[in-house]
Structure 1
Amino acid sequence: MIANNIRFLRKQENLSQEKFAERFGVSRQSVAKWESGESVPDVLKFREIAEYYTLSIDVLVSVPLDGLDANENTADGKYIFGMTEVTQDGQVKIPEYARKVFDIHAGDRLIVMGDTSRGGIALAKISLGDMKTE
């Protein structure tokens, strides 16, 4: 999972292994070994990577950020798509794999729902035909 997450984060920014390595002060070979699963970053480097991407170390190590591992067990229709960040103006980037699964494209309309007793917010894709006016 660590290898996939590091590769996913690097590719999300369209960075080469060399540019990713420069960002975190390691060699390109180190990044290649992390991505192949041959080795893992040390704890301080884990923290630096996690902080840069506003993730916890736990998420970086155990949550499939690319959604691929989550896709293996989706008979019940439940997914973990990874983490996202709310911008200063309240915008949220929906992970690419979630957009693919739910066929969400630029310009689509989403309804935002929440349940304070469960501490959650949900999004649902709607079409204008789904909205009834009275």
Structure 2
Amino acid sequence: MDLGNKLYTLRKQKGISQETAANEIGVSRQTISKWETNSSYPEFDKLVLISKLYDISLDELAGITNINNKEINYIPIKTHYEYISKRKIGNIPLIHINIGRGFYKAKGIIAIGNIAKGLLSIGLLSIGLISLGPIAIGLLSALGGLCIAGVSIGGLSVGIVAIGGFALGIFAIGGFAMGIYSIGGAALASKIAAGGYANAPVAIMQDTENIKTLILNKLPNTPNF
């Protein structure tokens, strides 16, 4: 008998629902369903909890041997970890961690996953108020390889304040910076640009003299400094 069918049979013998089993083990009901259909496999720490819940040894549970010692199998256990906190805000868990080999999604106030969505998101693709990851999209701030956010820091950054190798924003700082106000090795701006190469109504480069006068002549409404 494969692991999925064994888990299904054990649960039915126990007389409990998938939701009850999920609460006892500390996973989602969808995870129980995936285990029972062999769409995914539990990690070792979950196997321990399952064995206690169904009162069965790990050997019997994993299919290494059955009760009569006649069946010898090996059930592969995928590298995957999922945790969902019991505490929720609305219908969203406070913490959801869902990581492993594959496209595992995490959704919570704090979300950590291959694909993460939450107020604080950490993942290969992260979307949230504050996001961290290779691809990060944040309403407030983002840190990663490709970032889009109010305050964005990354290799390629787009935001109100953007800092990166390539930065595009109202305030842009980077190797190559484009914005209203830009600072960089190469800086392009609609108002003020400063850098090794600067192109703007006010362009500040190494040989620029009397910067304050230059700015006020070009942009008289600039606040005094």
Structure richer in strand, relative to its length? 2
Which interval holds the TM-score relative to the shorter structure?
0.3 to 0.5
Higher Rg: 2
Structure richer in helix, relative to its length? 1
Per the normalisation by structure 2, the TM-score is: 0.27
Q: Which structure carries more relative contact order (alpha carbon 8 Å, separation 6+)? A: 1
